[in-house]
A and B are shown apart, each in its own frame.
Chain A
Amino acid sequence: MEFALSEEQEILSESVSKMIESVCDVDIIRNHSGGDKELRNILKDQFVEMGLPGLLIPEEYGGSGLGVFEASLVAEQIGKYVAPVLWVANSVMVPISLSDKGSSDLAEKWLPQIAKGEVSACIAINEVIGSREDAGLNIEKGKISGTSIFALDGEHEPRIIVTVVDNNFYLVDTKEEDVEISEIPTIDSTRPVSEVIFNSCKAEEISGGKEIIDKVIDAGRVVLAADMLGTSDSMLKKAVEYSLERKQFNRVIGSFQAVKHMCAEMAAELEPCRSLVWYSAYAQDSIPEESRLAACHAKAHLSEVAHNLARIATQVHGGMGFTDLLGLHYWFKRIGLARQILGGPERVRKEAAEIQGFGVQV
């Protein structure tokens, strides 16, 4: 048994970290938020150069054939730098949906292109988790119509959109079909989400059934949990650093117990989260009987811990934490969005209970 990163996993994690750090700092994030979208393209190119979009794609389709565990390590680094880059849909959820048995034609067609970064892929499945009155999809004679909101990784004119209607995965080719994609303004400028309107679009069935849909959503949840781990870890480090620089009453504020205890509480809550994320990610690849429960717990628990940590870390920064000068709020907001998408904590805990057979079964 080895509950630790292997040497290869350490290297992956470090090299992704270095790469993102080299192109992404808080001023650039601020410019991006203000409308300069250059950073998105730079990050996309850097990810392609490192072969990251194909991380999860089987080797036969030109990918690296790695697992959700490695995808989570990358997500943690993305979260650490609040990097606006395609990941959870393009490189995790869509490849998993296409790698399922029974979809080999589509896999053969699209996976090599995703791996090379020639096309980007978006996933529009918010309605599976919670359908709103002003959104929803239907399918008639193989054509999808309707609106899906909070679609992920839709910012690079995605060539393909994967969605779910009536418990089946479908793929829509945006080059051939009439699809309107527009960004929804949320608190978090670092993770674009989109509204996707399908105007009677021809849809190819990928595969169906609850099992594969769950598998894709679980992987997405674990990766978002890993993203929140990175974001939180970064906020805690910033809080401690700031507390050791900022002086009041002729002392660094980090020498006051009131501040030390805030930091200690954040650390005490966050430290076990890393183990939970690792375990949950590992379970997606290697412990199928626990994968669903582990994914729910990772998403729910990280959402709670990160949410609380974002608030306290901001408080440790005092007034500066509230300003745009430090830009700490980009981290705060990234957690705010990640907490809600693919199921907020209450929703995900409800699933965790159902998976174990607790409560009245619907």
Chain B
Amino acid sequence: MDLNPGPEYQGFRDQVKSFLNENSQMAGRARNPARPSKDELEWQKKLIEKGYSARTIPTEYGGYGAESDVLKSRIISEEFTEANIPLGMANQGISMLVPTLLELGTEEQKKDWILKTIKGEIIWCQGYSEPGSGSDLASLQTKAEDDGNDFVINGQKIWTSSAQFSDMMFCLVRTEPDAPKHKGISYILIDMKTPGIDVRPLMTMTGHAEFNEVFFTDVRVPKTNIVGNRGEGWYVANATLKHERGMLGDPNQAATRLKEIVDLMNVETINGEKLINNPVHLDRLMRLQGRVLSMSYNSLRSLTASHKGLDAKMGKLIVKLNGCQLNHDLAGFAIDLLGELGTIYGLSNHDHDSGKWQWRYMFDLGLIIGGGTAQIQKNIISEIGLGMPREPKPMLEEKK
């Protein structure tokens, strides 16, 4: 146990700090959920040049080409968070598709897609879930029929965030209807401008449409757009999901949220008394702080494990479940602090937080469900982490 960073890493941290000092003007602060602006594209370009984005992606595909070093990646994200400067673009193309292509794509696919994706020229969406296939994703029914050099796709996807402005979709489709459910799926890249694709916004409980439904009617996609082997899409997708699970439940987000809450408690008053002076609120704040710190230290421990090439099995398995629950609890606490004012959700003179905490409280409930529900996470923790058995066969596979 030694938490000193060591001279190499201290030096690296200093480098990142001075870059941020010199370039804070250039960083586009607005995180546009839609297409990146010109400023954002330039910022992204600069970040790649310096190795703060696309850090470990080989130079031949437009990345910086550094060796993987989890400690340096961590320093970069810590310093950018500290400076409140966006660490370039974060989207499903960059975080999920690119690692998958690097692992399983053909040379041509890597050349075609990686550079444009990391530069922000191509925006991707993910087509996995279907109305009938949520937790049981492998039962998906969107079919891709073999027709010469193409597949012809028919079906429906749901929970597709950013589909309305995406150029491309990485998608799971059933190419082998007669194979067992896990073995009939292929992972395919679809151009969203192809005729027959209909994107419809999906209104959620937040009152916004953070997701879409995507309908496919006779959509033709070239066979060369399959990543990995035909029929092996399930394994390709799992390679991708592994990258997504790490993103959901990030303890840095909870730490930032806790700081916001302390600020709120220092400003808000009730009956002339600051909320931070209320011992009941403080007890709840401290409980939450204890959980936030545990998760931060858990991530440091996992980091050391990955740095040494070890697998912090349980330490990683719990992140999505705990992190999303913690974020949700933090939002719920902030609402309780605001009390009746915390329920305001629209234009009002009495609004103190622009409805931010209510939106988070609702959206984060979506995150507890999405990306593998809390129930599924518990199955995974008990089966993979604790070695408990899966559901017995008769209940697992119901014959159609």
Contact = CB atoms under 8 A, between A and B. Distances in A.
Interface of A: 1-6, 9, 69, 240, 243-244, 251-252, 254-255, 257, 259-261, 263-265, 267-269, 271-276, 278-279, 282, 286-287, 294, 297, 300-301, 304, 346, 349-350, 352-353, 358-360
Contacts of A274: 301
Nearest to B310: A4
Closest 8 pairs (CB-CB, A-B): A275-B297, A272-B294, A301-B290, A264-B378, A349-B286, A260-B382, A264-B381, A272-B298
A267 B388 contact: no
A282 to B, nearest CB: 5
A273 B388 contact: no
Nearest to B314: A271
A263 B387 CA distance: 11
A261 B286 contact: no
Contact of A264 (B265, B295, B385): B385
Nearest to B318: A268
B282 A4 contact: no
A277 to B, nearest CB: 9
Interface string B363-385: 00000000000010111011101
A240 B385 CA distance: 11
Interface in B236-277: 262, 265, 276-277
A258 to B, nearest CB: 11
Contacts of A297: 286, 289-290, 293
A251 B392 contact: yes
A268 B294 CA distance: 11
B308 interface: yes
B81 interface: no
Contacts of B387: 240, 244
Contacts, number: 162
27 contacts: A1-B6, A1-B304, A3-B3, A3-B300, A3-B301, A3-B303, A4-B304, A5-B1, A240-B388, A255-B391, A261-B378, A264-B321, A264-B379, A264-B381, A264-B385, A268-B321, A268-B381, A272-B291, A272-B318, A272-B322, A275-B294, A276-B290, A286-B3, A287-B3, A300-B286, A353-B285, A359-B278
A3 B301 CA distance: 5
A236 B315 CA distance: 16
Contact of A346 (B283, B295, B304, B314): B283
B376 to A, nearest CB: 10
B297 A350 contact: no
Interface string B309-349: 00000110010011000000000000000000000000000
Interface of B: 1-6, 9, 71, 262, 265, 276-279, 282-283, 285-287, 289-291, 293-295, 297-298, 300-301, 303-305, 308, 314-315, 318, 321-322, 375, 377-379, 381-383, 385-392
B282 A359 contact: yes
B388 A243 contact: yes
> Which of B1, B301, B314, B315 has the most CB atoms of chain A within a 10 A radius of its CB?
B1
A11 to B, nearest CB: 14
Contact of A260 (B3, B297, B388): B388
Given A3-B3, A6-B2, A297-B290, 15 more contacts: A3-B300, A255-B390, A260-B388, A264-B321, A268-B321, A271-B298, A272-B291, A275-B298, A276-B297, A297-B286, A300-B287, A346-B283, A349-B287, A349-B290, A358-B282
A304 B286 CA distance: 12
Given A4-B1, A300-B286, A352-B286, A257 B392 contact: no
A346 to B, nearest CB: 6
Contacts of B318: 267-268, 271-272
Given A251-B392, A264-B381, A267-B318, A1 B282 contact: no
Given A4-B1, A282-B3, A352-B289, A264 B297 contact: no
A279 B297 contact: yes
B297 A278 contact: yes
A29 B298 CA distance: 33
A276 B294 CA distance: 5
A272 B293 CA distance: 9
Contacts of B381: 264, 267-268
A4 B308 contact: yes
A3 B279 contact: no
Given A1-B2, A9-B1, A275-B294, A353 B301 contact: no
A252 to B, nearest CB: 7
A349 B391 contact: no
A240 B287 contact: no
B282 A2 contact: no
A268 B320 CA distance: 10
Contacts of A2: 1-3, 304
A350 B282 contact: yes
A254 B294 CA distance: 28
